[in-house]
């Protein structure tokens, strides 16, 4: 059996005299369990005290007999209180929330970097401790989940920041009687307006002088305010605006009660609409106003690309002025 003596904070393993009768030869090579000390202590297969391998990230270690046996009596040291955001028996990997900086050795005090997962694109804050890859939401890619994957486009939803790009069917050669896509879009809008208001806007361009505001809105809630209805809306996209600047985000849309009663325009909560209207003063000088002369059409995703085309044509001065 090996005997342990402590002297001024230094541990020694000293062999005892040869075993007496009845003692086995194996017992003479069986080390004692070493308790926690302020030193780095480990024991090799010959019972020799060595420094624990903590990769310069810990100041103390302890001896574990079970690990010593499992290692084939080669090492039983376990590092304590790993620093510099490391973890493991030898402080040899990064703790949760950090990942390895492969440009630095594991012994470097900055060998582990904090995860930098995107607050919207990532599904969590904990990254892979080796590669730094964050868990991304559907349609999101990148080490930090900061961009949309191929075939996806950015949305305004924090829950699903990237959505699939609608598949456009292959274009076919238009016949002489087939109308351009832009005109079909305008006629779609005209059908909605004729149905609810009896007016013919089939050939109305949303970028003519007769229409000053063209925006995509999402109705969030509605409440009655005297002779007005007050709608809280989210401005998703602004395609055209007049003298009164319109900003994206939450705003107020005012509609007179009598117009709501005759369903001109017809609006439902939690629906998206395309609003084409004019600059008018709202009751509290803050927000948008829609009336029976405004065009409020339930939104279709296929319109976004066409409206962008109108927007580009207007910038180039190609839209006809009414």
Which domain CATH number covers 82?
2.170.300.10
Say what the pLDDT of residue 153 is: 93
Same domain, 270 and 310: yes
Helix (H, G, I), strand (E, B) or coil at 197: helix
Half-sphere exposure (Cβ direction) of 178: Cα atoms closer than 13 Å = 7
Q: Characterize the bridge pairing of strands 228-240 and 162-164.
A: unpaired
276 lies in a domain? yes
User: Is 83 among the domain residues?
Assistant: yes
Q: Are 182 and 309 in contact (CB under 8 A)?
A: yes
Q: Is the model's pLDDT at 236 over the cut of 60?
A: yes
The model's pTM: 0.40
d(CA 317, CA 95) in angstroms, rounded, equals: 59
238 with 267: CB under 8 angstroms?
Answer: no
Instruction: Say what the pLDDT of residue 202 is.
Output: 39
Query: What CA dihedral angle connects 306, 307, 309 and 314, to 10 degrees?
Result: 150
Residue 136 belongs to domain with CATH number: 2.10.25.10
Burial 189-200 (b: 16+ CB within 10 A, else e): bbebbeebbeee
Dihedral in degrees, nearest 10, Cα atoms 16, 21, 24, 25: 60
Q: What is the pLDDT of residues 102-132, one digit of tens each?
A: 999 999 999 999 999 999 999 999 999 999 9
pLDDT value of residue 247: 80
* Distance separating alpha carbons of residues 198 and 81, to the nearest angstrom: 78
Same domain, 46 and 142: no
Percent of the chain at pLDDT > 90 equals: 26
Exposure on the CB side of residue 86, measured as CA atoms within 13 A: 25
DSSP string for 238-252 = EEE--SS---SEEEE
Statement to judge: residues 230 and 302 lie in one domain? yes
What does the pLDDT average to over 248-267? 78
Mean per-residue pLDDT over the chain, rounded: 73
Interatomic CA distance for residues 86 and 99, integer angstroms: 9
Distance CA 20, CA 38 (A): 35
pLDDT per position as a tens digit, 42-57: 555 555 567 788 999 9
CA atoms of 252 and 244, how far apart (whole Å):
14
- Under a CB-based contact definition with an 8 Å cutoff, are residues 179 and 187 in contact? yes
202 lies in some domain:
no
pLDDT in tens, 135-170: 999 999 999 999 999 999 999 888 999 999 988 766
- Are both 211 and 308 inside the same structural domain? yes
pLDDT band at 176 (very low <50, low <70, confident <90, very high): very low
Evaluated on CA atoms 241, 214, 260, 204, the torsion sign reads positive
- What mean pLDDT is predicted for residues 269-282? 77
- The DSSP 8-state label assigned to residue 57 in this structure reads S
Q: What is the pLDDT of residues 56-73, one digit of tens each?
A: 999 999 888 888 888 787
Could you say which of 133, 166, 199 is where a domain stops? 166
Q: How confident is the model at residue 14 (pLDDT cuts 50, 70, 90)?
A: very low
Beta bridge partners of 14: 3
Question: Residues 111, 99: contact at Cβ < 8 Å?
Answer: no
Report percent pLDDT > 70 for the chain.
Answer: 65
Q: 121 and 81 in one domain?
A: no
Same domain flag for 145 and 68: no
Residues 139 and 237 in one domain: no
74 and 142 inside one domain: no
Q: Is residue 101 part of a domain?
A: no
In a domain, 181, yes or no: no
Confidence of residue 188 (pLDDT cuts 50, 70, 90): low
Domains contained in the chain, number: 3
Mean per-residue pLDDT, 294-298: 81
Domain with 140, as residue range(s), is 115-166
User: Is 296 within a domain?
Assistant: yes
Task: Please give the pLDDT value at position 223.
Answer: 86
Q: Is the pLDDT of residue 76 over 90?
A: no
Whether residue 211 sits in one domain with residue 311? yes
Longest dimension (CA), the chain: 117
Between 145 and 260, the higher pLDDT residue:
145
Distance CA 232, CA 254 (A): 9
Q: At 228, which CATH number?
A: 2.40.50.120
């Amino acid at each position: 059996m090996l005997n342990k003596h402590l002297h001024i904070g230094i541990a020694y393993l000293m062999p005892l005299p040869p075993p007496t009768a009845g003692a086995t030869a194996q017992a003479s090579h069986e080390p004692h369990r070493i308790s926690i000390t302020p030193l780095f202590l480990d024991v090799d297969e010959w019972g020799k005290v060595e420094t624990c391998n903590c990769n310069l990230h810990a100041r103390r270690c302890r001896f574990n007999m079970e690990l010593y046996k499992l290692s084939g009596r080669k090492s039983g040291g376990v590092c304590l209180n790993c620093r510099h955001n490391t973890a493991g028996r030898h402080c040899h990997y990064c703790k949760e929330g950090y990942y390895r900086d492969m440009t630095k050795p594991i012994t470097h005090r900055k060998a582990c970097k904090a995860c930098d997962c995107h607050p919207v694109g990532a599904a969590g804050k904990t990254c892979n401790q080796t590669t730094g890859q964050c868990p991304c939401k559907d349609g999101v890619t990148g080490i930090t989940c900061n961009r949309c994957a191929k075939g996806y486009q950015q949305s305004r939803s924090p829950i699903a920041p990237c959505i699939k790009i609608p598949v456009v069917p292959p274009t076919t050669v238009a016949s002489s009687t087939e109308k351009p896509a832009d005109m079909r879009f305008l006629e779609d809008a005209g059908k909605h307006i004729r149905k609810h208001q009896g007016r013919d806007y089939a050939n109305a361009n949303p970028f003519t002088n007769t229409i000053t505001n063209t925006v995509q809105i999402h109705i969030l809630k509605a409440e009655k305010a005297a002779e007005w209805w007050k709608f809280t809306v989210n401005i998703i996209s602004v395609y055209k605006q007049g003298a009164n600047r319109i900003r994206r985000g939450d705003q107020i849309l005012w509609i007179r009660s009598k117009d709501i009663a005759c369903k001109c325009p017809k609006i439902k909560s939690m629906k998206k609409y395309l609003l084409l209207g004019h600059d008018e003063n709202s009751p509290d000088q803050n927000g948008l106003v829609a009336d029976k002369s405004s065009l409020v059409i339930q939104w279709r995703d296929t319109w976004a690309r066409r409206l962008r085309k109108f927007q580009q044509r207007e910038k180039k001065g190609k839209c006809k002025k009414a």
